[in-house]
Amino acid sequence: MDEKFNNKAILASECNCARGLMNKATFLEKKIINMTSYIPHSRTHALKTFNFPLTKSLVKRDDELGFGISGSKWRKYTSLIPYLISNNYQEAVVIGSAYSNHVLGITQLLIENRIKPTLFLLGSPTIKRQGNLLLTSLLVPESQVHWISRKNWPNVEALAQSYVENNDSTIVIPEGACMDQALPGALTLAMDILRNEQENQLKFQHIFVDAGTGLSAIALILAFAWINKQTLVHVLLLADEEPQFLDKLKLFQHSFEQFVEDELDWTALLEGFRLYRPTLACSFGSVNAAIISHIKFLAREEGFFTDPIYSAKLFWEAKNIISAQAIEGNILMVHSGGALTLMGFQKELIDNNNCVIDSGSQRNPL
């Protein structure tokens, strides 16, 4: 009798937890849609080359969300662009490297919505027009580009703010659109993963994501923590060090709490993720022959393209992490996109023998 009672109590508790998760998730989804109008959806499918015991590995194809704009960038813009339009901004100062995925992506949407893009780019006017920079130069005339040297780059945000001073119709968009106005869009990833779980009739115990400026990973961590979703988020830090990431997490925790009008426990928040640094081509923007080879391997074995700065490193490192930690359960790899970056690495892709590209090459697509 007691055993039956206990089983019923456990079942009731599990049902209440599930209802609580869905109630919070539904509330969060409504808040997000109010800021974005919709939740971008990408499919998932099995990974053939992630053959580990007691695991089922899938990839989330955020790279398919768009051609010129894909993955985490597209999600962030779903709330950022409506904010710019509703506040009647006429010009946006976009900060990023010359080969930035973000600069290329946001510039297209700014032009579409009749907002003038003014670019503050790392580099010089003599930098080689290739990859993303070639495409960006088709969108923006040289007269709208401010070149910032590597020496002055630490002051780029101050320079941008000086440019917009006393001009209420101009806004500064930092590297990677890492700003409060992009947070609701970044949160769509968590909501879309819940939909993927329903479609596949499973729950993901582990999710792997890459992080440049970190907003997409941070949004995922915050959303899962608030809806009490028991999924461990593995974050590969490709630009920031751990203290920088944690500082950003604290800042966006405050913004998220204002957004949902509720509080998150910092200690509980820290239990929902793990941080890693790359073990191969460790410096941000650096690429070597192994990474180029892995891009070719994934293309031929899995049938999708990865970029050498972000996604290729994520797939490489995730395999090592899963093996080393003997991770079990359902695993989701979030493919953040960025395949256009490959246009800047044509020579290396053709012949990757002795390929070593220093991070100082400035082909970093942040």
Residues 10 and 162 sit within 8 Å (Cβ to Cβ): no
Give the single-character DSSP code of 339: G
Tell me how far apart the alpha carbons of residues 196 and 39 are, in angstroms, rounded to a whole number: 12
> H-helix or E-strand containing 291?
helix 289-302
The token pair at 354 is 């002795």
Using DSSP bridges, classify how beta strands 287-288 and 356-357 pair: parallel, antiparallel or unpaired.
antiparallel
Instruction: Output the pLDDT for position 259.
Output: 98
Q: Which of 342, 350, 356 is nearest to 281 (CA)?
A: 356
Q: What is the pLDDT of residues 224-234, one digit of tens each?
A: 999 999 999 99
Q: Exposure of 365 by Cβ count < 10 A (0-12 exposed, 13-18 middle, 19+ buried)?
A: buried
pLDDT tens digits, 37-95: 999 999 999 999 998 999 999 999 999 999 889 888 999 999 999 999 999 999 999 99
DSSP 8-state code for residue 19: H
**What CATH class is the domain 71-177?**
alpha beta
pLDDT digits (tens, 9 = 90+) for 164-210: 998 999 999 999 999 999 999 999 999 999 999 999 999 999 999 99
Domain with CATH 3.40.50.1100 in the chain: 21-68+182-359, 71-177
Please tell me the pTM assigned to this model.
0.89
pLDDT > 90? residue 361: no
- Report the distance separating Cα 352 and Cα 359, nearest Å: 17
Domain at 21-68+182-359, CATH from 3.60.90.10, 3.50.50.60, 3.40.50.1100, 3.30.420.10: 3.40.50.1100
Q: How confident is the model at residue 365 (pLDDT cuts 50, 70, 90)?
A: low
At residue 297's C-alpha, the angle toward residues 291 and 301, to 5°, is: 150
